[in-house]
Amino acid sequence: MHNTDKLKQILHKKNLRYTQQRQEVWDEICSTNEHRDAEDIYNSLRKRQTNVSRATVYRTIDVLVKNNLVRRLDLGDGRSRFENKMGIAHHDHIVCLDCRKIVEFMNEEIEEIQEQVAKEMGFEIVRHVHQLFGHCLDEKCPNK
Ligand SMILES: [Zn+2]
Ligand SMILES: [Zn+2]
């Protein structure tokens, strides 16, 4: 499904009007695979001279998260990061505690072990959050 149709569909379901501003927010999130907070997304929209208010950005992100189009990441620093989820393969994240770099990974073995553990515990997994935190070995990282 095209991203405009998908947005129209979820807004309709929530009795919210489809607007150019909401489309701009969704397009902005789809334009990159970075993990950004709402303020970063708002600033990019401002830079592109789009006329979207901060309130619209926050509210639209909230609707997108609740409808599974956007993933919200909680990295334990009080700043939620967001990424497009539509059509993106499942992945987990490694976070550098110094430069806050976020790297995506996907490991079949870990995925399978998680399923197996859940099964042994009498659960059927609906979703999981798997995050690793550490110090990156990048020479440009401020911790070096
Ligand atoms: Zn780092
Ligand atoms: Zn990601």
Domain annotation for the chain: domains and CATH numbers: 3-84 (1.10.10.10), 92-134 (3.30.1490.190)
132 CA to middle of ligand 2, Å? 13
Structure tokens at 5: 């149709």
pLDDT band at residue 143 using 50, 70 and 90 as cut-offs: confident
pLDDT > 70? residue 144 = no
Closest ligand, as measured to the CA of 129: 2
pLDDT digits (tens, 9 = 90+) for 17-62: 999 999 999 999 999 989 999 999 999 999 998 889 999 999 999 9
Closest ligand, as measured to the CA of 81: 2
Closest ligand, as measured to the CA of 100: 1
**How far apart, in Å, do the first and last CA atoms of the chain sit?**
45
Rounded CA separation 79/64 (Å): 17
CB-based contact 70:82 (threshold 8 Å): yes
Rounded CA separation 35/102 (Å): 7
Helix or strand or coil: residue 123?
coil
Residue (of 87, 77, 101) closest to 29 by Cα position: 87
Residue (of 55, 57, 85) closest to 73 by Cα position: 85
9 CA to middle of ligand 2, Å? 24
pLDDT > 90? residue 3 = no
102 CA to middle of ligand 1, Å? 9
12 CA to middle of ligand 1, Å? 42
Furthest C-alpha separation in the chain:
53
pLDDT digits (tens, 9 = 90+) for 70-107: 999 998 889 999 999 988 899 999 999 999 899 999 99
- Rg (alpha carbons) of the chain, rounded to whole number: 17
Rounded CA separation 67/42 (Å): 20
Of the chain, the percentage scoring pLDDT greater than 70 comes to 99
95 CA to middle of ligand 2, Å? 11
Residue (of 111, 74, 67) closest to 89 by Cα position: 111
